[in-house]
């Protein structure tokens, strides 16, 4: 099955974001190469995010871990991971953790993002997010925090997203 066929099998138009993420992750992650395939399918659904080339390695209600491999495409002129690549990693990490735990009748949008760069990010960077799973589609703003560490475990950046959750509009 091609990547496009796999994407079509999991990404059904009109389905809630949380349902899509849960269905795709739960179906693909246990398979050999499934986490990589999930990340590629996610990248097809969100092409700008897909250009980052990050891989979701852990995903459960309210938790995610996403790995960004260091390579020339994500580096700046100082040969460190570019600030915007880190912001994109933070958004991806926070969004998949939130989406996985979202009720089927809810949707979300990031309303703001702040990020603090602590040290130059070099090598493989891992983004982690842990939050209380969202249990209601009632309109509410949530703070979603993401930390990014290098391979030695040093904290290289910290991000916070203001995310609006609310009920899905009728199709």
Q: For residues 33-55, give the mean pLDDT.
A: 91
Mean pLDDT of the chain: 90
Of 67, 66, 55, 61, nearest in space to 130 by CA: 61
Q: Where are the alpha helices (DSSP H) in 14-165?
A: 17-28, 34-45, 47-50, 83-101
What pLDDT, on a 0 to 100 scale, did the predictor assign at position 165? Answer: 96
Q: For residues 144-157, give the mean pLDDT.
A: 98
pTM: 0.89
Q: For residues 87-100, give the mean pLDDT.
A: 96
Domains of the chain (ranges plus CATH)? 3-167 (3.10.129.10)
Q: For residues 6-13, give the mean pLDDT.
A: 52
The two three-digit tokens of residue 18, written as one number? 């949380």
**Cβ–Cβ < 8 Å for 45, 78:** no
What pLDDT, on a 0 to 100 scale, did the predictor assign at position 49? Answer: 87
Of 103, 94, 90, 92, nearest in space to 17 by CA: 103
Residue whose pair of structure tokens reads 């609006």 in the numeric block? 164
Using CB atoms within 10 Å of the CB of residue 57, give its burial: 0 to 12 exposed, 13 to 18 middle, 19+ buried.
middle
Query: Which residues, in sequence order, are CB contacts of 46 under 8 Å at separation 6+?
Result: none
Alpha-carbon distance of 49 to 70, in angstroms, equals 16
For residue 64, give the 3-state DSSP assignment: strand
Is 148 or 133 the better-scoring residue by pLDDT? 148
Query: Which residues, in sequence order, are CB contacts of 141 under 8 Å at separation 6+?
Result: 111, 162, 163, 164, 165
Using CB atoms within 10 Å of the CB of residue 139, give its burial: 0 to 12 exposed, 13 to 18 middle, 19+ buried.
exposed
Alpha-carbon distance of 77 to 146, in angstroms, equals 25
What pLDDT, on a 0 to 100 scale, did the predictor assign at position 169? Answer: 82
What pLDDT, on a 0 to 100 scale, did the predictor assign at position 117? Answer: 97
């Amino acid at each position: 099955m091609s990547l496009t066929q796999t994407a079509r099998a999991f990404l059904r138009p009109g389905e809630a974001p949380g349902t899509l993420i849960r269905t795709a992750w739960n179906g693909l992650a246990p398979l050999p190469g499934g986490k990589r395939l999930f990340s590629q399918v996610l990248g097809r659904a969100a092409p700008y995010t897909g250009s980052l080339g990050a891989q979701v390695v852990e995903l459960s209600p309210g938790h995610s871990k996403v790995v960004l491999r260091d390579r020339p495409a994500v580096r700046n002129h100082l040969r460190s991971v570019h600030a915007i690549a880190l912001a994109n990693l933070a958004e991806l990490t926070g969004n998949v953790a939130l989406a996985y735990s979202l009720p089927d009748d809810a949707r979300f949008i990031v309303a703001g993002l702040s990020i603090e760069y602590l040290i130059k990010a070099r090598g493989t960077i891992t983004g982690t997010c842990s939050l209380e799973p969202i249990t209601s589609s009632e309109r509410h703003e949530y703070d979603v925090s993401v930390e990014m560490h290098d391979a030695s475990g040093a904290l290289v950046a910290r991000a916070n997203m203001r995310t609006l959750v609310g009920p899905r509009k009728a199709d």
